[in-house]
Amino acid sequence: MKPTKNRVLVKTIASEDRSEGGIYLPENSKADYERASVVAVGPGHINHMTGQTIPVGVVVGDTVLIHRGVGVEINHKNEKHLLLEEDYVLAML
């Protein structure tokens, strides 16, 4: 699967269900972001002033921090993935 424009296909990395002290964490106590692994990236978006393609800033294999609950959930190779725009990538880890 090859995303279009500035879209990124990621697979989320399961977050810990326990604190460092061993206490189980409820779903609502988890942060508004999550870690994910980049599976595929699009070619980038076109700068309409110059006509040049600006490439996506992440590459396949990067671990990134993304907003929780964004993107479109899709089934790719029998696994759940998220397809989202590059703007929802908060940081590379």
The domain in which residue 54 lies consists of 7-92
65 is a domain residue: yes
The contacts of residue 10 (CB under 8 Å, 6+ apart) are 36, 37, 38, 39, 64, 66, 71, 81, 82, 84
Q: pLDDT tens digits, residue range 6-21?
A: 999 999 987 666 555 6
Note the pLDDT tens digit of each residue in 33-49: 889 999 999 999 999 99
Q: What is the DSSP letter of 41?
A: E
| % the chain with pLDDT above 70 | 82
* Number of domains comprising the chain: 1
Please provide the average confidence, as pLDDT, over all residues in the chain.
87
What CA–CA distance (Å, rounded) separates 15 from 30?
9
The CATH code of the domain that includes 64 is: 2.30.33.40
Entry pTM? 0.82
What does each C-alpha distance from 14 to 29, 30, 48, 63, 68 come to in angstroms? 15, 12, 38, 13, 12
Residue 25 confidence (pLDDT) above 80:
no
